[in-house]
Amino acid sequence: MLFLVAAGLQLVFGVQKILNLACGSFYALGAYAGVSAVRWALGAGLPAPLFFPVLLGAGLILALLGPVVERLLRPIYDRDESFQLLLTFALVLMFEDVIRFFWGTAPHQLGNVYLTYGRLRVGGLTVPTYNLVVIACGAAIAAGMGWFLSRTRFGRVLRATAENREMAEAMAIDMTRVYARVFTLGMALGTVGGALVIPATAAVNEMGIELIVEAFAVVVIGGLGSMRGAFVGALIVGVVKAVAIATWPEVEMLAIYVIVIAVLVLRPTGLFARAIA
């Protein structure tokens, strides 16, 4: 999940050079939309095992708002990063209010669809099958993104833009359209991530902000703008957290930031810092 959001952040940064704090809000929006969509679908008589495509669909449809949000961000493309952080943080606050307006402040969740696919026993531990489905889905998206960026025409355009925007523009690439599309793609990664996580958790107002912090840790570790970095960074953060909780719970948060600091000191560009690779 973290990977999806971090990947969205990376993509947008890599191509548009925008640090988008609002990626956390996309995640929260995706979660809330996922809850509503599945509730509606189950209410309309959809068999429970089909909730997964509904969640995916909810995330993707929500991402259609991407071009609208992107339009809001356009004035700050060429300004200082601090303006970008301010504006996208303002978006975070606004989206939080939008969520409160439509869904209220109480936590929202989907009762037991989480266990629709049953549980598996893995090495003495009971794991809901859904977790494995999500992991598989995340891996598939990672592979899909890799293929898309390296093999398709649009992927090549994106990488070219990330490398050298002026040159790409000189090659008659319409930047306005590229930006709108790439932003929408980044947003879709966030909303789908939020929608997929919801069966295992509950949608709460603060989930967006909660995630941004971790996504930034992932990005710092992996290197800003790198897809592979997002993947490895998310893995590192996830594993370190789990190990810390199992062995020494007091240092759960600390452990991640120790790694962040180590990366910043030893390899300030991050482990995989290059343009979208």
Partner 1 sequence: MRLTRRRFLKLSGAGVVATALPLDAAPARAQSGPVRLGILAAKAGVLAPVGESGLRGVQFATDRINAAGGILGRKLELIVEEESSPKDTVERFRKLALSDKVDAVSGAISTGVGLALGPAAEEMKTIWLAWDATTQKGVEESMPKPKYSFRSTDNECEAVMASLLTARHWKGKFKTVAGINPDYSYGRDNWAAFLAIMKKHGIELQVVSELWPKLGATDFTSHVATLAQAKPDLVFSCFWAGDTPIFMKQAHAAGLTKSTKFVLTTGGGVHESLKKDFTPEGAILGYNCFYFENPKASALAKEFTRWHQEKFKEWPNYESDHGYFTVVALKAAVERAAKAGGGRWPSQDAIIQALEGVEAESLSGPRRYREDHIMEATFFQGLTTHRNRYDFVTVDPLESMSTKQIQKPSGVGLYDWINGWKV
Residues in the site for partner 1, rule: CB under 8 A?
93, 96, 100, 104-107, 109, 111-112, 114-115, 119, 125-128, 131, 197, 200-202, 204-207, 209-210, 241-242, 245-246, 249-250, 252-253
As a whole number of angstroms, the distance between CA 50 and CA 201 comes to 18
Name the residue nearer to partner 1 (CB basis): 141 or 197. 197
Least distance in Å: CB of 55 to partner 1?
16
- Give the 3-state secondary structure of residue 263: helix
Least distance in Å: CB of 244 to partner 1?
8
Least distance in Å: CB of 105 to partner 1?
4
Spatial contact of 183 and 12, defined as CB atoms under 8 Å apart: yes
Q: Where are the beta strands (DSSP E) in the chain?
A: 119-122, 125-128
Name the residue nearer to partner 1 (CB basis): 70 or 96. 96
Spatial contact of 224 and 10, defined as CB atoms under 8 Å apart: yes
Name the residue nearer to partner 1 (CB basis): 157 or 244. 244
Tell me which residue of 26, 90, 86 sits closest to 60, measured CA to CA: 26
Least distance in Å: CB of 237 to partner 1?
11
Name the residue nearer to partner 1 (CB basis): 201 or 269. 201
Least distance in Å: CB of 219 to partner 1?
18
User: Rounded to the nearest 5 degrees, what angle is found at the Cα of 34, between the Cα atoms of 30 and 40?
Assistant: 145
Q: Backbone phi, then psi, for 56, in 5-degree steps? A: -55, -45
Rounded to the nearest 10°, the torsion over CA 192, 207, 37, 100 is: -140
Least distance in Å: CB of 234 to partner 1?
13
Element (H, E) at 105: none
Name the residue nearer to partner 1 (CB basis): 163 or 210. 210
Name the residue nearer to partner 1 (CB basis): 45 or 249. 249
User: Rounded to the nearest 5 degrees, what angle is found at the Cα of 195, between the Cα atoms of 208 and 242?
Assistant: 65
